[in-house]
């Protein structure tokens, strides 16, 4: 049977989408697991974040609350660290690990970590690429324009670059977090293992995003080549 709107190249994305869904499940389940395990220190994630920031000379970086779950982030433009509902006041291993990870980003910013600077500098361009790449490509498909197809692919490569740069930023922040928590003895060695499991699971989501982007690019190239033949 023939399906006029079926795009066979979509099959390329299936493994990546499955991996992405698994990564999302992994981070949520791992965070939930270690959210039930309180740290022996008994301090909140917000307090840990504050202590680590002050220890690294970042007392001027405020910690603010942000709504949602796992919406935690460090804002390099505003120089603010934001902790979510499930992290800020929690005394769990998971929450402390997440807070320390965001402190890791603040330290990256303080030190001028090259990959973070690169990621921050390309954000406006990536937003432009992300907005226009697919519309241009689809218009190129509709009108059979190889130039528009190539333009869409070129812009989509900008999105790929962003995901490539993001990986070292996130892995480095986690490594810094675990080192800080170990050096300050905020967590015991056993607790550090749990925090590492949470951060490793979170890192999988960034790997999954990169895999999806790579296979999407392969798909676009396959579609472009099919129009040339």
- How deeply is 1 buried, as exposed, middle or buried, from its count of CB atoms within 10 A (0-12, 13-18, 19+)? exposed
Token pair listed for 133: 């790449």
Verify whether residue 36 is a known catalytic residue.
no
Closest CA to 224 of 162, 171, 145, 157: 145
Q: Of 102, 170, 183, 190, which residue is the catalytic one?
A: 102
Question: Can you tell me the distance from the alpha carbon of 181 to that of 58, in angstroms, rounded to the nearest whole number?
Answer: 16
The CA–CA distances, whole Å, from 213 to 12, 25, 157, 159, 217 equal 11, 19, 9, 8, 6
**CB-based contact 215:15 (threshold 8 Å):** yes
- Enzyme catalytic residues: 102
């Amino acid at each position: 049977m023939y399906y006029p709107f079926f795009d066979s190249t979509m099959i390329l994305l299936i493994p990546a989408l499955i991996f992405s869904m698994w990564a999302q499940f992994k981070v949520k389940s791992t965070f939930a697991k270690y959210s039930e395990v309180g740290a022996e220190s008994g301090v909140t994630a917000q307090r840990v974040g504050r202590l680590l920031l002050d220890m690294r000379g970042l007392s001027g970086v405020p910690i603010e609350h942000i709504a949602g779950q796992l919406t935690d982030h460090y804002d390099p433009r505003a120089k603010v660290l934001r902790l979510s509902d499930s992290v800020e006041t929690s005394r769990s291993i998971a929450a402390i690990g997440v807070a320390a990870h965001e402190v890791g980003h603040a330290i990256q910013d303080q030190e001028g970590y090259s990959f973070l600077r690169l990621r921050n500098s390309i954000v406006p361009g990536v937003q432009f690429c992300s907005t226009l790449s697919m519309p241009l490509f689809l218009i190129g498909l509709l009108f059979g324009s190889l130039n528009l197809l190539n333009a869409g692919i070129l812009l989509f490569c900008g999105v790929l670059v962003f995901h490539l740069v993001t990986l070292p930023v996130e892995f480095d922040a986690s490594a810094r977090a675990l080192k800080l928590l170990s050096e300050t003895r905020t967590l015991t060695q056993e607790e550090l293992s749990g925090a590492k499991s949470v951060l490793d699971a979170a890192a999988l989501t960034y790997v999954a995003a990169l895999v999806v982007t790579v296979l999407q690019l392969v798909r676009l190239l396959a579609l472009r080549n099919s129009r040339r033949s």
